[in-house]
Amino acid sequence: MTRHTDFRAGLGWDTHRLVHGRPLLLAGVRIESEMGLDGHSDADVLAHAVTDALLGAAAQGDIGMHFPDTDPRWKGADSLMLLHHVVQLVHLTGFDIINVDATVILERPKLKEYRLPIRESLARTLGIGLDCVSVKFKTAERVGPVGEGKSAEAQAIAMLGKRAE
């Protein structure tokens, strides 16, 4: 088992508006839903929060710094590809990803049936074991823009460890 020294935690958060006529993607998994997330990229709110958690832990700025939403290259971008790019950046800095934990806050639909495919997709993209990836779901109890079904939010935390020499 790889030994790690120097541990770093990073926090990520994201939000996107819910609109008709767009797919709802969470960590690249297509969720059956009347409404989807709006944004310049594919608006994968969970992938974006996890990406920012990794960048935060590595002190490498944020997602908008690496993939500006004014850049036509990232229009409709596959957010798992952006996440994969950041995973490679983390490795270049000498860190391994130890674990990721995330929460998606969405009023509807219910997401718990999608927990395993979402965890599997994240684990594959992060290159870590399924047991190191956790995803939780919450409603906003019908309060605020998320509670009124106008938007979705995601929060994530990532732990990195530097490979011991």
Placement of tokens 């990794």 in the chain: 54
Return the number of the residue (75 or 110) whose C-beta is nearest ligand C5P. 110
- What element of type H or E holds 153? strand 151-163
CB of 118: closest distance to Mg ion in angstroms? Answer: 16
Return the number of the residue (74 or 114) whose C-beta is nearest ligand C5P. 114
Return the number of the residue (95 or 111) whose C-beta is nearest Mg ion. 111
CB of 107: closest distance to ligand C5P in angstroms? Answer: 7
Which stretches of the chain bind ligand C5P, using CB under 6 A? 106, 110-112, 137-139
Say which entry of ligand C5P, Mg ion, none residue 25 contacts (CB below 5 to 8 A, set by partner kind): none
Task: Mark residue 127 as left, alpha or beta (left: phi above 0; alpha: psi -120 to 50; beta: remaining).
Answer: left
> Which residue from 55, 56, 43 is spatially nearest to 15, judged by alpha carbons?
43
- Residues 119, 32: Cα–Cα separation, whole Å: 17
